[in-house]
């Protein structure tokens, strides 16, 4: 392990020393493991990211089998892929302020590969407060040959920003939901990230602190962020209400997408994907002509998209089932978003119970709520019922039931009479 760190500077401080001793494993067992690894040829090593996929598998199983805290470092792959497809990180700096095991970075590079881009045009920077998770991330990126800057150590993004004053092109993040105690009561009030806002994010919940931090990092001319938050942030009151109002009035929110329930390994709640865009004016982005979306927000509700289930074997045959988004569904979500963004807005259409484009004036009328259910049309499916026809069907069923009941009663009475004990 020491030799590997010595010849691979990005892994400095990431690998465990004397691991076999802490595992209680024998030297012969460790030797057998090393012999098996040696059987992987150089060709197999590079084959379809073999080692990276093995590492990802173990991360997934560990997250699925762990506690809520254990699972925070891992974001389901389909959600990370969705964020990458939506914000399109073709070139520039990709940043994650709470990078966990590095899944956002891996998917940003995979996005470039899928679309035949050049990996050399992307650089990744991030930060992670948990020391073990910081090491997991460094190993995950090193295994895949992804150059990165995660700082010299693990540290809290809020109290020790390792990339202070750095501006980035893209942000992909899954911050810890509803994080408490992220600062002291009187801490960070003069910090540059929070100075130009009318309210200070509360100590009891860091949701809006993450948003303001990310906005402070985005390039003011073209930066875009895709991240996940608990649904409570859509309607939170107090200081969070004031911040949400200001975010909307400053026109930073581009899209709000509520996701299906039960996608995460350690919680079954539904969460929201936010897209923050520093420039919603007309222009050409990644070869597409976009229209002016000033003071407009796209809302999507995907809670009905919960039919696709993935089974993960976590221990001795024990399985955990989770909802996943398929590649086809991700393509459909991206298509709706791109059609809404594009100059051919006529291609886009509001779809009941799925998506709605909403002007800021209407959001003001709804008291700055960002809950899609406030805006997306709901269909009362009871109105589709032909009541006359349905009642005729029910009447016929009831006649058959009553007829069968009378026949049963008659047969029972006759049976008792046959043995000399009449009951009728």
pLDDT-derived band at 169, boundaries 50, 70, 90: very high
Share of the chain above pLDDT 90, in %: 52
pLDDT tens digits along 126-141: 999 988 889 888 888 8
pLDDT tens digits along 312-367: 766 666 777 889 999 999 999 999 999 999 976 678 999 999 999 999 999 999 99
Summarize the confidence of residues 75-86 as an average pLDDT: 92
pLDDT-derived band at 144, boundaries 50, 70, 90: confident
Task: Give CA–CA dist 104/94, Å, rounded.
Answer: 9
Summarize the confidence of residues 83-89 as an average pLDDT: 95
pLDDT-derived band at 71, boundaries 50, 70, 90: very low
Task: Give CA–CA dist 309/212, Å, rounded.
Answer: 35
**pLDDT surpassing 60 at residue 73:** no
320 strand-pairing partners = 312
DSSP 291: P
pLDDT-derived band at 278, boundaries 50, 70, 90: very high
- Which pLDDT value is given to residue 22? 64
pLDDT tens digits along 226-274: 999 999 999 999 999 999 999 999 999 999 999 999 888 767 787 999 9
- Which pLDDT value is given to residue 244? 98
- Which pLDDT value is given to residue 29? 84
Per-residue b or e along 294-321, where b marks 16 or more CB atoms closer than 10 Å to that residue's CB: eebbbbbbbeebbeeeeebebeeeeebe
Judge residue 104's burial from the number of C-beta atoms within 10 Å of its C-beta, 0-12 exposed, 13-18 middle, 19 or more buried.
buried
**pLDDT surpassing 60 at residue 382:** no
Name 331's Cβ contacts closer than 8 Å, sequence gap at least 6: 85
- Which pLDDT value is given to residue 70? 46
**pLDDT surpassing 90 at residue 388:** no
pLDDT-derived band at 103, boundaries 50, 70, 90: confident
Report DSSP letters for 229-257, one per residue: EEGGGGT--THHHHHHHHHHHTT-EEEEE
Which one of 65-69, 254-258, 288-292 scores highest in mean pLDDT? 254-258
Summarize the confidence of residues 213-236 as an average pLDDT: 96
Summarize the confidence of residues 193-207 as an average pLDDT: 95
Alpha helical stretches, state H, 236-371: 239-249, 327-341, 360-365
Share of the chain above pLDDT 70, in %: 87
pLDDT-derived band at 411, boundaries 50, 70, 90: confident
**pLDDT surpassing 70 at residue 147:** yes
Task: Give CA–CA dist 20/336, Å, rounded.
Answer: 52
- Which pLDDT value is given to residue 383? 56
Summarize the confidence of residues 35-64 as an average pLDDT: 67
């Amino acid at each position: 392990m020491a030799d590997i760190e010595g010849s691979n500077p990005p892994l400095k401080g990431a690998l465990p020393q004397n691991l076999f001793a802490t595992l209680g494993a024998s030297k012969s067992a460790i030797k057998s493991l090393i012999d098996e690894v040696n059987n992987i040829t150089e060709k197999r090593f590079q084959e379809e990211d073999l080692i990276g996929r093995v590492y990802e598998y173990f991360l997934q199983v560990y997250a699925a089998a762990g506690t809520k805290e254990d699972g925070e470092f891992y974001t389901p792959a389909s959600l990370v892929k969705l964020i990458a497809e939506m914000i399109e990180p073709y070139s520039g700096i990709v940043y994650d302020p709470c990078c966990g095991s590095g899944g956002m970075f891996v998917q940003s590079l995979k996005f470039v590969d899928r679309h035949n881009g050049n990996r050399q045009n992307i650089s990744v920077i991030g930060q992670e407060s948990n020391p073990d998770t910081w090491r997991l991330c460094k190993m995950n990126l090193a295994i895949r040959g992804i150059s990165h800057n995660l700082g010299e150590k693990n540290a809290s993004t809020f109290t020790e920003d390792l990339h202070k004053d750095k501006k980035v092109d893209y942000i992909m993040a899954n911050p810890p939901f509803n994080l408490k105690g992220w600062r002291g009561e009187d801490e960070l009030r003069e910090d540059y990230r929070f100075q130009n806002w009318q309210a200070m994010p509360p100590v009891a919940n860091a949701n809006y602190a993450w948003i303001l931090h990310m906005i402070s990092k985005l390039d003011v001319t073209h930066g875009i962020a895709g991240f996940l938050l608990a649904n409570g942030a859509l309607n939170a009151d107090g200081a969070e209400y004031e911040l949400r109002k200001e975010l909307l009035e400053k026109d930073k929110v581009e899209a709000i997408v509520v996701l299906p329930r039960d996608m995460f390994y350690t919680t079954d709640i539904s969460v929201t994907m936010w897209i923050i865009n520093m420039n919603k004016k007309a222009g050409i982005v990644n070869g597409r002509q976009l229209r002016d979306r000033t003071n407009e927000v796209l809302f999507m509700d995907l809670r009905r998209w919960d039919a696709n289930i993935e089974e993960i074997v976590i221990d001795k045959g024990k399985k955990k089932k989770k909802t996943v988004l398929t590649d086809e569904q991700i393509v459909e979500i991206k298509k709706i978003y791109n059609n809404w963004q594009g100059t051919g807005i006529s291609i886009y259409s509001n779809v009941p119970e799925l998506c709605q484009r909403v002007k800021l004036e209407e959001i003001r009328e709804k008291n700055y709520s960002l809950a899609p259910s406030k805006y997306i049309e709901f269909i009362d499916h009871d109105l589709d019922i032909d009541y006359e026809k349905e009642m005729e069907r029910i009447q016929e069923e009831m006649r058959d039931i009553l007829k069968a009941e009378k026949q049963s009663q008659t047969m029972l009475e006759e049976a008792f009479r046959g043995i000399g004990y009449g009951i009728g």
